[in-house]
Structure 1
Amino acid sequence: MLRIVLPFIALLMVMTIAALSRLQAFELPDSARQRHVVFSQGADRLEGTLLLPDGISSPPVVLLVHGDGAQDRWSAGGYLPLVNYLLSQGIAVFSWDKPGVGSSSGNWLAQTMADRADEATRALEKLKALPELQNSPLGFLGFSQAGWVVPRASRQSRADFAVLIGAAINWRSQGFYFMRQRLLSEGVPDGEISKALADETEAFDKQYSRQAVERPCLSHCNRQDFERRNALADAREDIRKMTTPVLLLMGEADRNVDSDESVERWKESLPANTPRCLRQVSGATHGLLRSALFDYQLTSQWPLCKQGAFLMLGQKAYAPGVLPGVADWIHRQRCHVEL
């Protein structure tokens, strides 16, 4: 009996150690140097954290640009596997709480995409002024809605590089794509989907005229105001002016943004001389997680088993090649061969 039990105990110990090591991906490493950074945009006082890899002088610095929603600096911990990977590769990371979230004042629902770009610009300019970053290349890493933010902010701030994940192009078409994917996942017949999309298109075009979009909020901006004031957002004009080296990664299984359309529009719009790596990642979701495990539109839809899988997998939750590809681009602006 002892011969059977001992190997089992050893295996259990190995599995436990492996699980604990994966959970560490959701904790900020003790070795990282942390600096509290405050900057202003308009009347908003914005607070964030700069993480510097230990023992490296003048590291490249990536500023995280959130997608939609009321997100704090680490997106309720969801960014931390990515953040820890970047730190392990000698890359510093800065992220801040959205206006009105965490320690930041203001109201993120009062922002247009141009406002968000101005905010990201102020953040990068603030970091440029820090003595320890005088010789560091600085750039953005943005998610989803950052597709409207990063192209403009990169130009305004003269960023050294940019990375976009699941980047949207046009607010109107993105909304229809999201709706179609949701209805497909619910098993709605094609005919009903077509009618629902036609009705939604007619309603959208009636509701969001240029005059309606430019109307200010009556009082405290709410979600309806946010959607109205950004309803005509389109990234192509800013992409046409972009000279910052850019990595665009789109998951082939993206249920939120049409990855084919995004890659095609970037290819059409980006100036010919701008360094680029525009890739679709097979087996990847909107956030570039493994689609075989995390094929959902929203993380709020994850059942407990998927939440547990994300915690246990940590960095392994990302599709193969994604994290090395991002790090390669930040360091060398090189397309990673495995993507």
Structure 2
Amino acid sequence: MRRGALLLAGVILALSAPPASAADSSDVTFTNGGVTLHGTVVAPPGGTKLPGLVMIHGSGAHSREDYREQAVAFARQGIATLIYDKRTEGYSQFSRSYTTLADDALAAVEVLRTRADVDPSRVGVWGLSEGGWVAPLAASRSAHVAFVVTLGANGVEPSRQQAWAIENQLRRLGMDGSMVRMASSTMMRQLVGGGVFPEAHYDPVAVLKSLRQPVLGLWGAKDVLTPPGEAVPIFRDSLQHYTLRVFPDAQHQLRRTTDGYDKLPGYAPGYLELVGTWVNHPPAASSADAPPPQDRPSFVVTPLAWYESTWLQLAVLVFLLVAFGFGLGRGAARPSRWLAATGLLTVVGFLVVDVLIQVTLGRNLGPVLAGRPLPWLALQLLSLGVVAATIGTAVAWWRHRTPRLGVLLAGGVVFVPWAVYWGLLGI
């Protein structure tokens, strides 16, 4: 009943608002940490005492244009909305700080608060995806933030969310078994342990529990990037003043969808109106929709054990390449030549396939057979050949005891636990 009233009020507000073309736009600049950021304020003309909203980006590179459509929709509902180009200095795939991004947003909040048509006590932040970590953090750092709106926000740490999303994508392509475990767990743990996953263990719960501002949390029930079935109860149990809503046929960005992966024209019905209504008239009482069903739970990305350390893995990789390359010389016995060839091909092939998985999330690996893309299945068959050739080389070494056979045999012996760890000798 409460949700229906909010949506009805939003529709009435939208119908009575001026058309999209009537929204005024004015460019602004602001600075944080020596970096100048450029943005645009989209607001209804002639407004007074307007609420203000700063839109915070999702992950990756974004410009203000990515959010202009929504900013215009909010302006039509009487909200002065600031959109800005995301920083590039100090932000990349391998380096970022949520604190810095939160300070960027707070600098934008101050821009809105100084406008003559904005009520400085009614300026809040809106955050999508990664912005769902940043927006609450910004609010926790400043009493000048009056409210928080999040879309597709996470209640779990970034590494856990990313592992869940990778597994979803691979399973959608029909993959299963050891390759999925390698990509979503083993490789993720290596990236985190190697320090190339920024903000991997950021704790959103501590920040949510510290908030005193009202929060509007929105999720698509078919979100495949953020585990929404876990996020809703985490937000509900952590916040003091909240409105939590789930849209049944919406994806991560609250676009209409059939399966969470396709993006149909338009946003989920009622989303834009709900934000406008809630920002203009925040409800006094907290309320939450039931968490949507989730195919599988996310899992904690655990720290690496000593034998999994990134430097040790790199050392093993180099040793395998050297050992198998050393065995390719002339005059070697047939089992040793087979071991050198299959071992080298398997290790190099694994590196290529792993890069493809990380870059394309498995989309360019070809047909899938028995839950395995053909390149991975080929690598697993080659790995069995390496094991067989290692046994044959051990027999040859026992007979001849040459240094070359010794080095090659050592490579074969080390290969077995390495291949088990990376899933090449797994089901």
TM-score past 0.5 threshold:
yes
Query: CA 1:195–1:46 in 2, change beyond 3 Å: closer, same or farther?
Result: closer
Task: Report what 1:82 is aligned to.
Answer: 70
Task: Report what 2:56 is aligned to.
Answer: 65
Shift of 1:191: 5.9
Q: Rg bigger for which structure? A: 2
Most deviating of 186-195 and 54-63: 186-195
Task: Report what 2:153 is aligned to.
Answer: 167
Q: Distance in 1 between matches of 2:68 and 2:103?
A: 25
CA contact (8 A) 2:42 2:80 kept: yes
2:194 alignment partner, one of 207, 210, 215: 207
2:226 alignment partner, one of 252, 257, 260: 257
Does the alignment pair 1:242 with 2:225?
A: no
Q: Count matched residues.
A: 266
Shift of 1:201: 4.9
Q: Distance in 2 between matches of 1:267 and 1:29?
A: 35
2:274 alignment partner, one of 310, 325, 337: 325
Shift of 1:129: 2.3
Q: Which amino acid in 2 is paired with 1:245?
A: P
Does the alignment pair 1:287 with 2:272?
A: no
Task: Report what 1:108 is aligned to.
Answer: 91
Shift of 1:195: 5.1
Task: Report what 1:34 is aligned to.
Answer: 25
Structure of greater relative contact order (alpha carbons < 8 Å, 6+ residues apart): 1
- Percent of pairs identical after alignment? 27
Query: CA 1:72–1:265 in 2, change beyond 3 Å: closer, same or farther?
Result: same
Does the alignment pair 1:96 with 2:84?
A: yes
Matches for 1:153-192 after TM superposition, within 5 Å: 153-158=138-143, 159-168=145-154, 169-189=156-176, 192=179
Q: Provide the secondary structure at the position in 1 that maps to 2:78.
A: coil
Task: Report what 2:133 is aligned to.
Answer: 148
Q: Which amino acid in 2 is paired with 1:127?
A: L
Superposed CA offset, 1:133-154 (max 9, x none) = 2456111111000121111211
Query: CA 1:134–1:163 in 2, change beyond 3 Å: closer, same or farther?
Result: closer
Task: Report what 1:139 is aligned to.
Answer: 124
Q: Provide the secondary structure at the position in 2 that maps to 1:229.
A: coil
Q: Distance in 1 between matches of 2:25 and 2:270?
A: 28
Task: Report what 1:230 is aligned to.
Answer: 199
Q: Provide the secondary structure at the position in 2 that maps to 1:290.
A: coil
2:184 alignment partner, one of 193, 197, 218: 197
Superposed CA offset, 1:225-259 (max 9, x none) = xxx33222221111111111000011110011100
CA contact (8 A) 1:288 1:319 kept: yes
Q: If the length of structure 2 is used for normalisation, what is the TM-score?
A: 0.58
Shift of 1:111: 3.1
Shift of 1:336: 9.6
Query: CA 1:45–1:205 in 2, change beyond 3 Å: closer, same or farther?
Result: closer
CA contact (8 A) 2:214 2:241 kept: yes
Q: Distance in 2 between matches of 1:205 and 1:91?
A: 40
Query: What is the alpha-carbon root mean square deviation over aligned residues?
Result: 2.5
CA contact (8 A) 2:20 2:73 kept: no
Q: Distance in 1 between matches of 2:99 and 2:133?
A: 8
Superposed CA offset, 1:92-146 (max 9, x none) = 110111113xxxxx34325301111111111112221233324561111110001
Where do 5+ consecutive residues of structure 2 fail to align?
A: 1-18, 291-427
Query: CA 1:140–1:295 in 2, change beyond 3 Å: closer, same or farther?
Result: same
Q: Distance in 2 between matches of 1:184 and 1:151?
A: 32
Q: Distance in 2 between matches of 1:33 and 1:89?
A: 13
Q: If the length of structure 1 is used for normalisation, what is the TM-score?
A: 0.72
Where do 5+ consecutive residues of structure 1 fail to align?
A: 1-27, 101-105, 209-223, 297-301, 311-316
Query: CA 1:130–1:173 in 2, change beyond 3 Å: closer, same or farther?
Result: same
